[in-house]
A = this chain, B = another copy of it.
Amino acid sequence: MDTKEENLDVVSILKQNFPVFHNQDLIAKMAKEARWFKHEKEETIVDFGEYPKWIPLVTNGAIKISRADDEGGEIFLYYLYPGQTCAMTLNCCMVDKPSEVKAIAEEGTEYLGLPRKSLPQWMLEFDEWRQFTLETYNERYENLLATIDAIAFQKLDERLLNLLKDKSIAKGTNEIEVTHKSLAEELHSSREVISRLLKQLEKIGKVQLSRNKITVNLG
């Protein structure tokens, strides 16, 4: 990331995906210290218990954040889309602790990684960075509360439909290649229950099912 051409590239991609940043000194530091990361579909970016070293500013694709229990159960929390960063990672980096969630690339995911060691200084130096951090924390609280709402209050068929809608946004298409088994894992349910609910959703016109593919009717 040390040639002038690459720096200019970072600057324009930041401008496009993170228009919240205007401060030239901050942008210059980001361009100088950041690294590009690209991940294939389903690649693990950060696993439970790992210490993240880079704060991801997502510029393409999506990152799926999920939570696990001790017995290998897993539950989907939320997606990070372009223009967003990970509050969990920010927080882990600021208080120096390992990740309690898992981050997986959903689809040809790209992000700009900011080095954790720079963050404490940026917190002091740049109003914009401080504000961005606080807004990120706020958004992620809302995501976690929405997850709690969904698990505690929503019926499983609503949660399933919302997960499919999230996936279609994350993948940029309403034709989703996914197995009933993996949907069941993400919702901590069983394959049989998910298959039954998908058939119900098909009957009322919310989805169309075909082999290993689900088409979501977003209209």
Residues of A within 8 A of B (CB): 67, 69, 71, 73, 75, 77, 87-88, 91, 94-95, 97, 100-101, 123-124, 130, 134-135, 137-138, 140-142, 144-145, 147-149, 151-153, 188
Contacts and interface: CB of A to CB of B under 8 A. Distances in A.
Contact of A67 (B67, B95, B123, B149): B149
Contacts of A71: 153
A91 B134 CA distance: 7
8 smallest CB-CB distances across A and B, nearest first, come from: A69-B153, A144-B144, A75-B152, A151-B151, A94-B134, A95-B138, A152-B188, A91-B138
Contacts of A148: 67, 75, 77, 144, 147-148, 151
A148 to B, nearest CB: 6
Q: Is the interface of A mostly helix, strand, loop or mixed?
A: helix
Nearest to A135: B95
A71 B135 CA distance: 28
A52 to B, nearest CB: 14
Most buried by B among A123, A124, A151: A151
